[in-house]
Structure 1
Amino acid sequence: MLRDELGDLAAFLVVAEEMSFTRAAARLSTSQPALSQTVRRLEERLGVRLLIRNTRNMAVTEAGEQLLNTLRPAFSDIDNRLQSLSQFRDKPAGTVRITAGQHAADTLIWPAINEVLHTYPDIKIELSLDSALTDIVSERFDAGIRLGERVEQDMIAARIGPELRMAVVGTPDYFTRHPAPTSPHDLPQHACINIRLPSSGGIYAWEFTQGERELNVRVNGPFIVNNLSAALKAAQAGVGLAMVMEDMVETQLAEGQLVRVLAEWCAPFAGYHIYYPSRRLLSPAFQVLLQTLRRRNAAEEKPRRPVIDGNNQ
C-alpha cells in the first residue's frame, strides 16, 4: 500500500466518524474541498461508493460501513502501539481520552487528572462529561468511568471509588409544611424533583432497598432536570424533595441546611469503576492515569460519616 493510500483511508475514517466534511477538515487541519477530493479519489480507486452526500445530509453506504469495520480496529491498534513507544522515553507521554459523568468527574477524576498533569508534563488528557452510556470503542475513548453495575461484561473494570449511597433530602422549611415520609410509599404525596435519564430519555424511578425488599417509586413534582447537581439546587431552594448522592449533601446535612429522610431505605451500592476494552494495548500514559486513580482510591478510603435522618431527630 502506498503512503498516500493509507492517508486517504485515514481521512475517510475521520469523515465517517464526524459525518461532516467541515468538522473532519477542522480535525485534520485541512480544507473541506481538499478532503472531499481525497474521499472522491479513494472511491474511484476502490470502484465503490463509500458515502452518500448532499448539501444537507451524509450517510455511509454498505460498502463504506464494511470498510469502516476494517479500519477502526486497525487504526486503533496502530495508534495504541505508537503510544506504547513512549515507554522508551524518559517520561510517559501521549494523549488519554476518557468519558465520565459530572459527579464522578468532580469527586474522583479531576483530583487524579490534576495530579497526573502536574507530574507528567508530556501527558495530555481529554475528559468528556457525559452521563449516557457512551460506546468507548466506536467513540475512540481509552476508557470510561461509570458505576460498577453499569459496566458492560466484555470490558475490563477496576474499582476506583468507594461504595455510594443515595439520600432523599429537603429543606427544614419544606418539612414544616409537609410531614416527613416514613416509607417510600409516602413519596407520591410529596413534591419531588424528577431526573430524566440521559441514556433512555425516561424518568428515573427512585430505587429503595431495605433488607430483601426492593421498591421502585415513580414520583411526581413540578420540576424535571437531567443531572443531580441541578436537582440538589432545586431542593435547596425549597422546590421539593431530591434524591441525590449522599456525599453531595454531607455538609448541608451537618449544618442543618437540609434534612434527610428514608435513610434506612437507601442501601450502599457499587461505586465508580474505570473500564476499557480487554483487547486494547494499554499506553504508558493511560497506565499512569489508571494507577493514579487506583492508588488514590486505596489511600482515601475512610469511615463514612454517621447517617443523619430527619425521621430519627
Structure 2
Amino acid sequence: MARDHHSDLLAFLTVAREGSFTRAAAKLGVSPSALSHTLRGLEARLGIRLLNRTTRSVTPTDAGKRLLDGIGPGFDEIEAAVSGLSELREKPAGTIRINSLEPAIDAILWPKLAKLLRAHPDIRVELVADQNLTDIVAEGFDAGVRLGEQVARDMIAVPIGPPLRMAVVGAPSYLAERGVPKTPQDLTAHDCINLRFMRQGGLYAWEFERDGRTINVRVEGRLTFNTPRHIVQAALDGFGLACLPDDIVKPELRSRHLRRVLGDWCPPFPGYHLYYPSRRQSSPAFQLLVKALRWPQR
C-alpha cells in the first residue's frame, strides 16, 4: 500500500474504535460524509468490506477485525513515540556529549554541571577529555570546549570562563640553578618542557606578545608530554620551564611551588568557550546546559 494511504488506515482505525462515523469525524477533524467517502475508497482498493454499517452503529466485519488487530498496535506505538517527543519539549531530558580540554572540565564544566544534573535528573552528560582539535560534528559530539581563538568561525561560540593568560613557570630550585629568563629569546638557554599535539603531531610553539610585537619560540628540552598535568609535575620536580594557561597552575603559583617568569610578555586572551554547529537543534536540555555554563551569568 502506498504511503499516502496510511491516513486512510488511520481513518478506518478511528471509526472501528469509536463505532461511529460522527464521533470519529469529530476526532479526526473532518466531516462525516468525507470520512465515509474515505472508508468506501479504502474498501474498494482492498476489494473487501471492512465495516458493517447500520443506522444505529458501525462495527468491523471479520476482515475489519483482522485488519484492526494488525494495524492497531503499530499506530499506537507511533502515537506514543510522538507523545514522547512532546514530553521532551516540556521536560529537559536526553544525553549531551561534550568534547573538552581536560583543564576546562576540572575548572569550569564539572562544578557547574554537577549543579545542573542534581536539578534535572533526566539529563545525561558525557564528557570526553581531548587535547586535540577534534571535529565534533564528524565524531558525533553535541558541543566542544576550546579556547576562544581555537573555535572555527562557522560555529556558535559561548564564553564559559574569564580571559586567560599563558604562564611560563619554573620551580624555585630550577630558577636558582639556571637563572631567570628576561626575554623570550633567553629561553634558548633553558630546559623547556614541550607539549605535543597528538593529532597534528607537532609541538606547541610558545607565544609571546608585548607592545604590539609578537614572538613565537620553538623551545628545546629533554621532556615532552601530551597532557598538561604531567608538564606541571615535571616543572614541580625541577626538570625545566613550562608554558601553560594560568588557570592550570594557579594552585602551584599560590603555594609558591612554582614561580612565574616573563609575565609582561603574556597578555590576556579569550578563555574557554562552549561551541556547537549553528544548525544544531537546541533541545530544552541543551538550552539549560548553555545557560548554566555561560560566563558571565546573566
Q: TM-score, normalised by structure 2?
A: 0.69
Displacement of 1:253: 2.1
The residue number in structure 2 matching 1:222 is: 222
Alignment partner of 2:296: what SS? helix
Alignment partner of 1:264: what SS? helix
Distance 1:97 1:85, change over 3 A: farther
Displacement of 1:88: 4.2
The residue number in structure 2 matching 1:124 is: 124
Q: Distance in 2 between matches of 1:276 and 1:251?
A: 31
Q: Is the 8 A contact 1:83 1:284 kept in 2?
A: no
Displacement of 1:198: 2.9
Q: Distance in 2 between matches of 1:133 and 1:82?
A: 38
Distance 1:238 1:167, change over 3 A: same
Alignment partner of 2:247: what SS? helix
Displacement of 1:87: 4.3
The residue number in structure 2 matching 1:256 is: 256
Q: Deviations over 1:125-159 (max 9, x none)?
A: 11111121111212221111111111111111111
Read off the aligned partner of 2:164 and give its amino acid letter: L
What does 1:154-173 correspond to in 2, within 5 Å? 154-173=154-173
The residue number in structure 2 matching 1:298 is: 296
Q: TM-score, normalised by structure 1?
A: 0.66
Matched, 1:108 2:98: no
Distance 1:112 1:86, change over 3 A: farther
Q: Which runs of 5+ in 2 are unaligned?
A: 3-81
Q: Which has the larger radius of gyration?
A: 2
Q: Which runs of 5+ in 1 are unaligned?
A: 3-80, 301-313
Q: Deviations over 1:65-113 (max 9, x none)?
A: xxxxxxxxxxxxxxxx999644444x31111111101011111111122
Q: Is the 8 A contact 1:168 1:262 kept in 2?
A: yes
The number of residue pairs the alignment matches comes to 220
The residue number in structure 2 matching 1:146 is: 146
Q: Distance in 2 between matches of 1:174 and 1:83?
A: 62
Q: Is the 8 A contact 1:207 1:216 kept in 2?
A: yes
Q: Is the 8 A contact 1:159 1:272 kept in 2?
A: yes
Displacement of 1:206: 0.5
Displacement of 1:249: 2.3
Displacement of 1:175: 1.4
Post-superposition, which runs of at least 4 consecutive aligned residues in structure 1 deviate over 6 A? 81-84
Displacement of 1:176: 1.5
Distance 1:298 1:86, change over 3 A: farther
Q: Deviations over 1:217-257 (max 9, x none)?
A: 11111100012111111000111111112122223223321
Displacement of 1:208: 0.4
Alignment partner of 1:247: what SS? coil
Q: Deviations over 1:6-42 (max 9, x none)?
A: xxxxxxxxxxxxxxxxxxxxxxxxxxxxxxxxxxxxx
Distance 1:108 1:83, change over 3 A: farther
Displacement of 1:285: 0.9
Read off the aligned partner of 1:96 and give its amino acid letter: I
Share of identical aligned residues, percent? 49
Q: Distance in 1 between matches of 2:83 and 2:112?
A: 24
Q: Is the 8 A contact 1:166 1:244 kept in 2?
A: yes
The residue number in structure 2 matching 1:240 is: 240
Cα RMSD, aligned residues only: 2.3
Q: Is the 8 A contact 2:168 2:263 kept in 1?
A: yes
Distance 1:214 1:124, change over 3 A: same
Q: Is the 8 A contact 1:86 1:94 kept in 2?
A: no
What does 1:80-91 correspond to in 2, within 5 Å? 85-89=86-90, 91=91
Alignment partner of 2:96: what SS? strand
Distance 1:264 1:87, change over 3 A: same
Distance 1:88 1:152, change over 3 A: closer
Q: Is the 8 A contact 2:145 2:275 kept in 1?
A: yes
Q: Distance in 1 between matches of 2:191 and 2:89?
A: 60
Distance 1:256 1:280, change over 3 A: closer
